[in-house]
Amino acid sequence: MGEDKPVDMAVEGDEISKKALKKQQKKVEKAAKKAEHKVQAQAQQEVNQEEDVSVESYGDTELIQSKEKHAERIFTDIKNLILSLENQTVWLRGRLHTSRAKGKQCFIVLRQQSYTVQGLVTVNEKISKQMVKFISNITKESIVDVQATVKRVPSEIESCTQKDVEVHLEKVFVVSAAKAQLPLQIEDASRSMGETDDNALNIKVNQDTRLDNRVLDLRTPANQAIYRVEAAVCKLFRDILTSKGFVEIHTPKIISAASEGGANVFTVSYFKGNAYLAQSPQLYKQMAIAADFDKVFTIGAVFRAEDSNTYRHLTEFVGLDLEMAFKYHYHEVVNTIGHLFTEMFKGLRDNYTAEIEAVRQQYNVEPFKFLDPPLKLEFCDAIELLAEAGITLGEEDDLSTSDEKLLGKLVKTKYDTDFYILDKYPLAVRPFYTMPDPINPKASNSYDMFMRGEEIISGAQRIHDPEFLMKRALHHGIDVEKIKAYIDAFRYGCPPHAGGGIGLERVVMLYLGLDNIRKVSMFPRDPKRLTP
């Protein structure tokens, strides 16, 4: 019995050894097959690489870090792709707007700012399947460099700005790839507001989504046009006034007291005390007149701490302000400002038709109408027009927003103009520095100007006598010690003067006929929005 036990153990040990060996053999065989597959895959990849005749003509570029210059690569703007370039090879840089693969072809639309061109790539002896597939997989909004030949098309391409030509792609390199998942589609954000929603996939992008993703939203053709029109308003304002002898000045935005004596100011910490963000450059424009600059203007940020969540209010906007000395009557200034507006309107109409039309493509509104010289009414005329329409106002009442809109419609019907001047406002509704009317003690030498029934400039003759100015300030409950420097500026002699402040965004909104000021503020600030 004692001899049987070792024999059994040996048999069991043999069985264990055989199993281990068999397991090891399978492991070796599996590794060998894996290695073989790897070799085959590498071989196939090499074959594919050899077959890819376009391998040098597409791909992702290295991160551009200004390491080298490509002097030989001269780029053409998409807007300049016209029939005269037919059969010429060009380099383009733009965004991949859309792409559509179909068999051995891929159609793309390349976009550069507001301009688009159709591109086509087809498998041939120089273009590989791999290249076509690569192009079809480029994410929308990626920035690409394209070498292509300009070709005439048999019929106009309605979906692109460049309608008579397309480009046949030869090389495509991704310069900066966009994420695959965009928070909004440019096609959706560009869709006409009046477009009927026949397709359930047509998505309307709401305002908050647009503003939360402003960088994408600003790429739409309408937005590209809006901010070119806005730039034009600034340029025309500056050029027209400069040609009239005005001097551009720059005024402080951090001040020691509220600009106009109101409570709607932003308070900021200023070392050991407080300061305020300027509601207006008003006081400094006047001080410049007292300093013998005669005619001045400024373009800059204006801050209003008003909790107004309306379509036309912002807490920060761009002010176009001007001030001018006159000889005998403040209408010298009123006429100058009226002429300024008509010249700006002419400049926009004559030189920015493409931009205005691009905006109208998305926001279908009536063209802006104006008279030259502009229509001028007195406040009493406005009261009469409103009374005829059933609205009764007292001679010391201000116009409400609804009154202004109705008045705008009445004026448009009667005079066929979207722009007019309203003169002689009640003294009670104007700031402390407004000169009272010398004949009617309830009226003032002040004026507003309107576009499409909404106020875009408020102005007046200013009080240039220091004692009278102090009296009016006290009447308005203003601490004269806080505006001592302002009042003192008139103690050394100051010419009679008048001026006004214009809201840039409001002018652009109303000229283009848009329904919300946030559409014309690149990164709007209101009581609920402080980003982006």
User: Which residues are identified as catalytic?
Assistant: 304, 306, 312-313, 455, 458, 506
Q: Return the structure tokens found at 442.
A: 């309830």
- Nearest CA to 111 among 68, 143, 136, 86? 143
Q: In whole angstroms, what is the distance from residue 521 CA to residue 507 CA?
A: 11
Q: Give Cα 417 to chain centroid, integer Å.
A: 27
Q: How many CA atoms lie within 13 A of 299 on its CB side?
A: 16
With contact defined as beta carbons under 8 Å apart, do 94 and 143 qualify?
Answer: yes
Residue with tokens 């008048």: 498
Longest dimension (CA), the chain: 141
DSSP secondary structure, 335-390, as one string: HHHHHHHHHHHHHHHHH-HHHHHHHHHHS--PPP---SSPEEEEHHHHHHHHHHTT
Length of the chain counted residue by residue:
532
Residues 6+ apart with CB under 8 A from 229: 348, 352, 355, 356, 359, 508, 511, 512
Instruction: For the chain, count helices (H), then strands (E).
Output: 14, 17
Question: Is 259 in contact with 280 (CB distance < 8 Å)?
Answer: yes
Cα separation, 215 vs 230, in Å, equals 17
- Can you tell me the distance from the alpha carbon of 250 to that of 298, in angstroms, rounded to the nearest whole number? 6
Residue 404, classed as helix, strand or coil, is helix
SS3 488: helix
Under 8 Å between Cβ of 172 and 132: no
DSSP annotation of 278: -
Is the Cβ–Cβ distance between 446 and 398 less than 8 Å? no
Q: Let me know: does 128 contact 54? Beta carbons within 8 Å.
A: yes
Cβ neighbours of 429 (radius 10 Å): 14
Q: Find out whether 77 and 115 touch, Cβ atoms under 8 Å.
A: yes
